[in-house]
Amino acid sequence: MIFRNRALAARVGTAALLASGVFTALGVPAHAAGTETDLSLDVVGTRVAAGSEGKVAFAKVTNRGENTPRDLSIDADFSGLDTSKAVPVSAIPGCDPNVGGWNCKVPTELLPGPGETVELPVVLFKQDGFEGTYKGSVTFAIGSTDDTDASNNTKVATIELTDESGPDLLVLAGDVKQAVEVDENGELSVVGDLHAGETGVLQYFVVNQGDRAAGGLTVTVKLPKGVTFTEAEPDCEYNAADTEAVCTYRQLPLVPIDEDTDESDDVFSAGDFHHLLSVDADVKAGSLTGGSVSVEPIVATQPLRGSAREATKLPENVTGLQGADVDASDNTDGYAVVVAAEGGSGGGDGGLPVTGPQAGLIGGIGGAVLLAGGAMFLAARRRRVVLVTPGDETSTV
In which element (H, E) is residue 370 found? Answer: helix 367-380
29: closest CA among 106, 91, 140, 141? Answer: 106
pLDDT of the residue at 388: 56
Angle at 24 between CA 59 and CA 20, to 5 degrees: 100
Q: pLDDT-derived band of residue 190, with 50, 70 and 90 as boundaries?
A: confident
203-235: b (≥16 Cβ within 10 Å) or e: bbbbbbbbbbbbbbbbbbbbbbebbebbeebeb
In a domain, residue 389? The reply is no
For residues 353 and 294, give the distance between their C-alpha atoms in angstroms, rounded to a whole number.
26
Tell me, letter by letter, the H, E, C secondary structure of 107-137: CHHHCCCCCCEEEEEEEEEECCCCCCCEEEE
Contact 176, 226 (CB under 8 A): no
In a domain, residue 395? The reply is no
- CB-based contacts of 382, cutoff 8 Å, min separation 6: 128
In a domain, residue 393? The reply is no
For residues 276 and 180, give the distance between their C-alpha atoms in angstroms, rounded to a whole number.
9
291-335 tens-digit pLDDT = 999 999 997 655 544 444 444 554 333 333 334 789 999 999 999
In a domain, residue 391? The reply is no
pLDDT of the residue at 22: 39
67-95 tens-digit pLDDT = 999 999 999 999 999 999 999 988 877 78
151-167 tens-digit pLDDT = 999 999 999 999 999 99
Q: Which domain holds residue 249?
A: 2-380
DSSP state of 30: P
Backbone angles phi, psi at 358, to 5 degrees: -60, -35
- CB-based contacts of 80, cutoff 8 Å, min separation 6: 136, 137, 138, 139, 156
pLDDT of the residue at 301: 57
For residue 19, pLDDT over 70 is answered with no
Contact 379, 125 (CB under 8 A): no
In a domain, residue 394? The reply is no
In which element (H, E) is residue 57 found? Answer: strand 54-63
Q: pLDDT-derived band of residue 186, with 50, 70 and 90 as boundaries?
A: confident
In a domain, residue 324? The reply is yes
For residues 363 and 2, give the distance between their C-alpha atoms in angstroms, rounded to a whole number.
17
In a domain, residue 55? The reply is yes
Least confident interval from 119-123, 246-250, 266-270, 317-321: 317-321
In a domain, residue 387? The reply is no
Q: How many CB atoms lie within 10 A of CB 272?
A: 24
- Domains in the chain: how many in total? 1
For residues 195 and 202, give the distance between their C-alpha atoms in angstroms, rounded to a whole number.
15
pLDDT of the residue at 319: 31
Chain centre distance of CA 12: 17
Which carries the bigger pLDDT value, residue 15 or residue 349?
Answer: 349
Angle at 70 between CA 119 and CA 285, to 5 degrees: 75
Please state, rounded to an integer, the average pLDDT across all residues of the chain: 78
Tell me, letter by letter, the H, E, C secondary structure of 233-283: CCCEEECCCCCEEEEEECCCCECCHHHCCCCCCCECCEEEEEEEEEECCCC
3-class state of residue 157 by DSSP: strand
